[in-house]
Structure 1
Amino acid sequence: MSKRDCYEVLGLGRDATEKEVKKAYKRLAMKYHPDRTKGDDALEEKFKEVKEAYEILSDPQKKAAFDQYGHDGVNQQGQAGGGGFGGGGFDDIFGDIFGGGRRGGGQQRAQQGSDLRYNMELTLEEAVKGISKEIQIPTLVHCEQCNGSGAKKGTESKTCGTCHGQGQVQMRQGFFAVNQTCPTCRGKGKIITDPCGKCHGEGRYERSKTLSVKIPAGVDTGDRIRLSGEGEAGEQGAPAGDLYVQMNVRPHDVFERDGNDLYCEVPISFTEAALGGEIEVPTLDGRVKLKIPAETQTGRMFRMRNKGVKSVRSHSTGDLMCKVTVETPVKLSIKQKELLKEFESSLCSSSSKKHKPKSEGFLNSLKTFFDDISK
């Protein structure tokens, strides 16, 4: 059966750069890696195919031979009779993705545990002031009975008789030889004949653990905290991965956050807007006084220094921006309506420009607009 084109395997054009080759390999290796597709022979074959394609296209000499003569050109260079697919650039990128992997052509190293992610919901007050919270994480932990070895206490694993502890076996095809993962020990190089009763030979088991997470003051949605070694336990006693706690701050009923600044809308009465006065406005530390100057128009913004959020990355503190909205009175009594009409009449009896500069300017603009249309 003929092999597929390497560029086709990685989903690339023949003008692909070295960076594009590496990026395509990372994506496909994550998808088809045997540790993620255990027991699926078809996907394991795809992984081998992807691995071989990257081995060829990441090596300038092999790539040149392949571009000119295809797989025959690579085979003539001794590709199949070399060290299999376990050396050089593959090992480097394999380690980047999976945190370990093979070195040289020998036994696989025990793989570090996977990283975990936890989404934490916070109120704005909790995010601004900081808090400690307990969370429960379902994860894989090291088996304490066998100390992560997978072998029953008092026993040891034995060297695999098929690969003699190398983790790989050599398959010959005519004049060529290809190194493959040992089917007996699955690349571990050892066989557990008497497995631990608690973890059933895996060296780790699933358990929910409780952690206390300290959230610093000033965090915002998208920030994350890394807890080293609190991810899944590694294989055969290998180090655990990390836990990443991702922050999500819920919307607030009063405040809207923008970076380190807070925004809120404050309603004021018609009388307060016209005559001025002092009102109470909310902050995250309690109520404070805000002086409203006379003749304040709706939409005006007032800045209250250092009443925002203290930055989690510096010592600076944001501001509180208060936008005032003049509230129209509702459900007026007959007497109140009469008083308002009398007040309106008093405004109209004098120059409207004096009391309603915006209205007067709008009417003048409107008149000019219609005059221009009628011409």
Structure 2
Amino acid sequence: MADDPYATLGVAKNASDEDIRRAFRKLAKELHPDISKGNEERFKKVSSAYEILGDAEKRRAYDRGEIDGRGDPRHAGFRQYRGARAGAAAGGGFDEFGFGDIFSDIFSGAGQRAGARSVSKGHDVRYTLEVDFLESAAGATKRVTLPGGGTLDLNVPAGVTDGQVLRLKGKGQRGASGAEAGDALVEIRVRPHPLFKREDDDILVEVPITIDEAVLGAKVEVPTISGRVQLTVPKGTSSGRVFRLKGKGVKSAGRTEAGDQLVTVKIVLPETIDDTLAYFFSEWRQKNGYDPGRK
């Protein structure tokens, strides 16, 4: 007994033409001999089912019981129709039933006749490239070795982030029979920096200051991703205060403005507290003790 074409395609009997076409596309992509070996028989059955259900006249004939799941007539009166369609199919190949357009969509090539080998784009290749933190912020040119042994100067754009994937068009595996080559997908890994951290396009850094700089105020040098700058620390600055350096962060591709640098100051005491310093603060505490808000 011939298979039920509806069951073969996995659709209901009241499925729309688009549902049937979509189901065939999915199965054909999975089972095509150039993609999946060992499924030739099932691919033929799926193609045969679509030959019936993808043609409005033949679908109506099947639903009326005039033809079976192979398209053979159940009654003598239908034999002439079957023969005429079979002759057309023999001359026109899969295009008679719209297969050419479907295979063209699936395999991104010209419409393919029955028995023709699909021309497939080459496979993409993936690998990882490590860059320094400052290179990721400012951008850099890195020479990379491709899987085939060749080299390429890769432009790492300013503001690239850890885990971002750069696509090198046509640098993957060669396509079959002269088809387009695949792409090389380069995943960026950014090495941590001993001073800087990144938050979106802002740069975070912690800068130590002395107790006298915190009390009296001072100008201190602060590192940024583009060089050292002077930061004015006002008199009476507490440890943990954050200063914003406008435009000293990362300028990502496509952004008109760079982020900022956020500088957190941290008061660091001298390694040795001498008698003079201890005596001074002892006297000062007796006269000027204060509550910093501890709870």
**TM-score clears 0.5:** yes
The corresponding residue for 2:206 is 265
Residue deviations 1:202-252, cap 9 Å, x none? xxxxx4322222223332234443333222111122232222333232322
Map 1:75-94; keep pairs closer than 5 Å.
94=103
The corresponding residue for 1:115 is 124
Provide structure 1 residue ranges, at least 5 long, that are not aligned to the other structure.
139-206, 364-375
The corresponding residue for 1:278 is 219
Pairwise CA RMSD: 4.5
CA distance in 1 between partners of 2:55 and 2:267 (Å): 71
Equivalent residue in structure 2 for 1:347, among 278, 288, 291: 288
How far the C-alpha of 1:346 sits from its partner, in A, is: 2.5
The verdict on how the C-alpha distance between 1:277 and 1:94 changes in structure 2, with shifts beyond 3 A counting, is farther
1:248 aligns with 2:205: no
CA contact (8 A) 1:277 1:293 kept: yes
Q: Secondary structure at 1:208's aligned position in 2? A: coil
CA contact (8 A) 2:205 2:262 kept: yes
CA contact (8 A) 1:10 1:50 kept: no
The verdict on how the C-alpha distance between 1:238 and 1:297 changes in structure 2, with shifts beyond 3 A counting, is same
CA distance in 2 between partners of 1:102 and 1:279 (Å): 70
How far the C-alpha of 1:53 sits from its partner, in A, is: 7.9
Residue deviations 1:5-59, cap 9 Å, x none? 96897799x999x69x959965x7666554454xx42x55566677778888988
Q: Secondary structure at 2:262's aligned position in 1? A: strand
The aligned amino acid for 1:250 is: R
The aligned amino acid for 1:316 is: E
Map 1:1-375; keep pairs closer than 5 Å.
22=22, 34-37=33-36, 40-41=37-38, 43=39, 94-95=103-104, 98-100=107-109, 102-105=111-114, 107-138=116-147, 207-327=148-268, 332-333=273-274, 336-348=277-289, 352=290, 356=291, 358-359=292-293
CA distance in 2 between partners of 1:59 and 1:322 (Å): 70
CA distance in 1 between partners of 2:271 and 2:170 (Å): 61
CA distance in 2 between partners of 1:272 and 1:63 (Å): 88
The corresponding residue for 1:372 is none
CA distance in 2 between partners of 1:272 and 1:24 (Å): 75
CA contact (8 A) 2:217 2:237 kept: yes
| Percent identity of equivalent pairs | 37
TM-score, normalisation: structure 1? 0.56
Provide structure 2 residue ranges, at least 5 long, that are not aligned to the other structure.
74-81
CA distance in 1 between partners of 2:117 and 2:275 (Å): 90
TM-score, normalisation: structure 2? 0.69
CA distance in 2 between partners of 1:211 and 1:310 (Å): 25
The verdict on how the C-alpha distance between 1:327 and 1:84 changes in structure 2, with shifts beyond 3 A counting, is farther
How far the C-alpha of 1:104 sits from its partner, in A, is: 4.6
The aligned amino acid for 1:124 is: F
How far the C-alpha of 1:319 sits from its partner, in A, is: 1.4
The verdict on how the C-alpha distance between 1:46 and 1:284 changes in structure 2, with shifts beyond 3 A counting, is farther
CA distance in 2 between partners of 1:340 and 1:58 (Å): 93
How far the C-alpha of 1:90 sits from its partner, in A, is: 6.2
CA distance in 2 between partners of 1:2 and 1:264 (Å): 74
CA contact (8 A) 1:65 1:74 kept: no
The aligned amino acid for 1:303 is: R
Higher relative contact order (CA 8 A, sep 6+): 1
